[in-house]
Structure 1
């Protein structure tokens, strides 16, 4: 799989380190991965994740998989505007 220019990658210095094969906080990492992919992560979360990716194989693999899925879905889904009549119906039901 080819990494995009925005994909965090393992640095050369990190390649010399011992990589973790298990992640003790994978659920938290997945939340940060989703926030990063949705452009909702804070700078602190992004930096923490970059540091973590330098040593955690499961997080690297999860990030790449989630990014691939998101990119594939974005290419397949046709974005169409909602018809005005449907929008008005939804808004009226919300406001009532």
Structure 2
């Protein structure tokens, strides 16, 4: 699951991606988990409306980080 999550989050190394691709067809639970996780992630990305953070909130956050 760690490698599947890393791949879906685009954080996997090339070696991890290659290993997953080579072994994915041999592991039915891996294939099903990958497809399910990808479907969930894609659905969430399509449903989320991305809005910019208001500048007043951004300034408050920055001032709290700096203090």
TM-score by length of 2: 0.94
Aligned residue in 2 for 1:62: 33
Deviation at 1:52, TM superposition (A): 1.8
Deviation at 1:39, TM superposition (A): 1.2
Q: Which has the higher helix share?
A: 2
* Uncovered stretches (5+) of structure 1, i.e. residues with no partner: 1-29
Question: Distance between the aligned counterparts of 1:91 and 1:66, measured in 2?
Answer: 34
* Uncovered stretches (5+) of structure 2, i.e. residues with no partner: none
Question: Distance between the aligned counterparts of 2:57 and 2:41, measured in 1?
Answer: 27
Question: Distance between the aligned counterparts of 2:2 and 2:49, measured in 1?
Answer: 26
Q: Does 1:89 align with 2:38?
A: no
Bigger CA drift: 35-44 or 64-73? 35-44
Higher relative contact order (CA 8 A, sep 6+): 1
How large is the RMSD of aligned CA atoms in angstroms?
Answer: 0.7
Q: 1:43 aligns with which of 4, 7, 14?
A: 14
Q: Secondary structure at the match of 2:50?
A: coil
What is the number of equivalent residue pairs in this alignment?
67
Deviation at 1:94, TM superposition (A): 1.1
